[in-house]
Structure 1
Amino acid sequence: MSNVGETLKAVRKQRGLTQGELAKASGVSISIIRKLEQGDRATARMETLRMLAAALRVTTTQLMNGPKVEGPVVGTEERWEAVRKALALPPLPRELDDEPPTIAGVKRALDDSVPLFAKDKFAELSTVLPGMLRDADALGTEGRSIRARLLQLSGWLMVATRQFDAANVALQRAMDSAADPMDGAATANIQCWLLLRQGKLESALNLAVEWADEIEPRPSRATPAELSTWGWMLLRLSAAAVRNEEADTAERAMRLAQGAAVMLGREHTPENDFLMTFGPTTVKLKTAENASVTNRPDVVLRLAQKIPVSTLRATSNNRNRHLLDVADAYAKTGEYAEAFDKLSEIRASSPEWIPNQTYARTVMRRIIEGRRTLTSEMRDMATAIHLDL
C-alpha cells in the first residue's frame, strides 16, 4: 500500500467513514479511493487529494505525508535523539570550550526547568535538556550534586516517555554521582519504576527491598525527607510484589508506607522536588492502583470516593495514573461514559502525557468494545492517543 493509501485509510477510519461515505462526501469515485487504499495507485492528482483532504478535515499535505494527529507526537526516537546523545557522549575537554558553564548558572537553569518536568512539558524539555546535560557534565567534580539531580530528572523523563535504554543510562550515571544514601535512594526509586514498566518484577522487588532496608529511618528522629523517601521505596516494593503475585508482601509494604504517611501527618511536598511528594493521599492513590492491578474495579471506585483528587497538582503523574485506574474501573463495570470522562479530564490537563500511556489505549479499547457507536469526541481521543480504530 502506498503512503498516501495508508494515510487515507487510517484517517478515513478515524473519522468513522466507509469508502462509500467518503466518496459521497468528497466527490471522488469509490473506485479511486479503493485503488489508493489497496496500493493499486501510488498517488492521485493534487485536486483529487485536495477533495479527499477537505472531506476528511485534514490538509492536503497531511494527507500526503501522514495522518493528522492532535498535539505533538511524543515518545518518538527522533524527538529524544539529542537527549540520548547528550547522556551517552563524554563532555568536551574544558580547553575546547570557549564559554564554560558555571555552577551557579547550571543550577539556575536546573531550578528553572523543574516546572517543565512537573508539568509534563515534553516538547520544551526535548529542546532545552541536551544543552543542560552537556553543561552539567562540563562542571566536573564540582558540579556533582547538580549533575546527579539533573540525571535523576532526565531518567524519570525517559521512563515517562518509554525511552528505556536512555533512562537506564541516565539513572546509572545518577547513581554514580549520588552524594549520600538519600540521594541514591531517590535514584533507586526511579530505577524501580523503570524496572516495573519493563516488566522486570523480580529485579524491581529486590532493588526496592535493598533500598528500603538501607534507608529505614528511626521513627524518633526521622525527618520529613527521610520518611518521604522511605515511604516511596515501600510503595515501589508493594507495586512490584502485587504484580508478582506476592499479595502478603505487597500488603506488608503498603502498611509500612501507611505508617510513614501517618508519621508525616500530611502530604510532604518538598520545594522544587515534585517526585518526592508523599503522604496519606499518595498512599491512598497507590492502594487504589494495587486494587486495579488485582482486577478489583469495585474497590478502585470505592477508594476513589475518599481520595481528594481536586487537591492534587493538575499534571501530577500520581493523579493521572489514579484517574486512569478510575477510568479503567468504570470501563470494566460497563460505565463507558464515565470512563471516557476521566480520559478527557486527563487529556485536558496533560495533553503531552497521555499519548505515552499504553494504559490509556487499553482503557479506550474497552470503551470502544463496549459501545455500539462512537461519538466524534471518542474518535478524536483515539487519534490523540495513537489508537488505531
Structure 2
Amino acid sequence: MPQPIGSSGPIGERLREIRKRRGLTQHQLASASGVSLSLVRKLEQGERDDTRVETARALAVALRVPTSRLLGGVRDMQGASPSVVDLWTPVRAALAAPPPGPADDAPTVAGVRAAVAAAMPLAAGDRLDELAEVLPVLLRDAAAVAAAPAGRAVNAGLMRLVGWMLTQTRQFDAAEDALGRALDGAPDDLDAAAAISTRCWLLLRRGRIAEAGRLAEEWAERIEPRMSRATPAELGAWGWLLLRAAAAADRDARPDDAERLLLLAGSAAAALGPRQVPGGFLRAFDARTVQLKDAEHAMVSDRPDRVLRLSAEISWEGMRPTSNNLNRNRLDQASARVRLRQYAEAVDTLETIWQAAPQWLPHQRYARDILGQVIARRRTLTPRMRVLADAVGVPL
C-alpha cells in the first residue's frame, strides 16, 4: 500500500503517487524537472531510496508540491568522512565528558573567556584542524567554570562555536548536543537566537527543511525588533533568522515566501546601515550578507546568469572575506558556471576556493557535486582536476 504523502520512508512511492495524481508520465516529469529519466525510474522502482535536496526540489517544482511533502519525514544527510571523525574524536569526547572536579589550578572565568576569544581567529580563518586540537581543553575549562553565572554565559558562547564547527564538518549529532547546551545556557534572547540560527542551518544540512523553516520563522517573530530603536545586535539576529527561513522556503520550493523573507532581511540591513553587529564573524550581518543570500536564492531557483551578476555587484571593501561569506558564494558561482557549461571557469573558481580555504573545502559536499558534474562531462581530466578531485573527495 502506498505511504501517505508526507510520511517517512523511501521517496519513490511518494514520487510515483504524486506524479500519477498530476497526470504525468515519467518522461514528462523528467523533462519538466530537468532530472534524468533514469534517476526518476530508479527512485520510483526503489533502486535509489534517497536523493539530494536540490534534486528533490526540482522534482517538487515540476509536481507543484513543497519539497518537504515529497521528501517525507526526517532525513539525515551524509555525515563526516572517517578521517574527520577520527580527527574530531577528542572534541566529541570532551563534549560528552562530565564537568571536572575541583583542582588547585582551576581555570577562571576571565581566563576561559580570553582563551575562547583567542581561538576565534582559527574558526574565522577556516583553520579547522588546529581548532580541533585546542577545543578539547577549552571545553574542559569552560565546563569547569559553567556553574557561575558569568561562566555559564562563556560556556554557552563556546557551545555556539562548537556547534557551528561540528555542523560545518558534518558531525550532526554532536552539533545538536552542543547547540542544545548553547540554547540552555544563553543569557538572553539574542544569544539564544544565535544558537537557533545555527541550529536552523544544521537542520537544513540534515535535510529537515520544514522543521528548519518553522523554527527560524518562530524565532524571527519572537525577537522582531522595533525598527525605529533597534540595536545592531537585534537587527543582526533578526536578519539572520529571516535568511535561514528564506533558505528553508527556497529548498521547499516556495520561492515567493523566500523572496518575501529576503526582502524583510533587506529591511533589517537597511535599518542597520553602516553600524557593526557585535559578536564576531558568526554574527556578522549587513547588506552584503543579504546580497550573498540573494545570489544563493538565484542558484537554488536555477538562475545562473543572475547568480553571476549579483555576485559581481558585491563589494568587499571593509569586510574580511571568509568561507562564511565569499567562499560559500564562490561555490554558487562555480555551480552557475557548470549550469552555463563554462567548465574551465568552474574549475578555476573551485581552485581559488581551495587555495584560500584548504581545510574548509573538503567538508563541502556541494563542491564534490560541482566537480563531479564537470568530470562527468569530460573525456579526460587535466592534472589540476585530478588534484582537486582528490582534495574534495570526488569518488573514483
TM-score when normalising by structure 2: 0.77
- 1:382 equivalent to 2:385? Answer no
Counterparts in 2 of 1:122 and 1:141: CA distance versus 1, 3 Å = same
Which moves more between the two structures, 375-384 or 290-299?
290-299
Q: Hey, what does 1:371 align to over in structure 2?
A: 378
AA partner of residue 389 (structure 2)? A
How far 1:86 moved relative to its partner? 1.2
Counterparts in 2 of 1:75 and 1:222: CA distance versus 1, 3 Å = farther
How far 1:75 moved relative to its partner? 6.1
Q: CA offsets per residue over residues 100-147 of structure 1, 9 Å max, x none?
A: 111111011011001011111111111110110110011132201100
Q: Hey, what does 2:253 align to over in structure 1?
A: 245
8 Å contact kept, 2:146–2:153:
no
Q: Hey, what does 1:358 align to over in structure 2?
A: 365
Q: Hey, what does 2:282 align to over in structure 1?
A: 275
AA partner of residue 110 (structure 1)? V
- Listed as ranges, the gaps of 5+ residues in structure 2 are 1-80
8 Å contact kept, 2:146–2:154:
no
Q: Hey, what does 2:84 align to over in structure 1?
A: 76
2:167 alignment partner, SS class: helix
Q: Hey, what does 1:262 align to over in structure 2?
A: 270
8 Å contact kept, 2:236–2:277:
no
Aligned residues: 314
**Counterpart Cα distance in 2 of 1:304 and 1:259:** 20
Which moves more between the two structures, 233-242 or 139-148?
139-148
8 Å contact kept, 1:195–1:201:
yes
- 1:343 equivalent to 2:350? Answer yes
1:123 alignment partner, SS class: helix
**Counterpart Cα distance in 1 of 2:89 and 2:333:** 34
- 1:198 equivalent to 2:206? Answer yes
Counterparts in 2 of 1:107 and 1:229: CA distance versus 1, 3 Å = same
Q: Hey, what does 2:331 align to over in structure 1?
A: 324
- 1:223 equivalent to 2:238? Answer no
8 Å contact kept, 2:255–2:301:
no
Q: 1:127 pairs with 118, 124, 133, which one?
A: 133
How far 1:236 moved relative to its partner? 0.2
8 Å contact kept, 1:74–1:356:
no
1:299 alignment partner, SS class: helix
Moved over 4 A (4+): 309-312
1:340 alignment partner, SS class: helix
- Listed as ranges, the gaps of 5+ residues in structure 1 are 1-72
AA partner of residue 340 (structure 2)? T
Q: Hey, what does 2:304 align to over in structure 1?
A: 297
How far 1:92 moved relative to its partner? 1.9
Q: 1:159 pairs with 167, 176, 186, which one?
A: 167
8 Å contact kept, 1:267–1:282:
no
Question: Which has more radius of gyration?
Answer: 1
TM-score when normalising by structure 1: 0.78
AA partner of residue 280 (structure 1)? A
How far 1:312 moved relative to its partner? 4.3
State the identity as a percent: 49
**Counterpart Cα distance in 1 of 2:380 and 2:286:** 42
How far 1:372 moved relative to its partner? 3.4
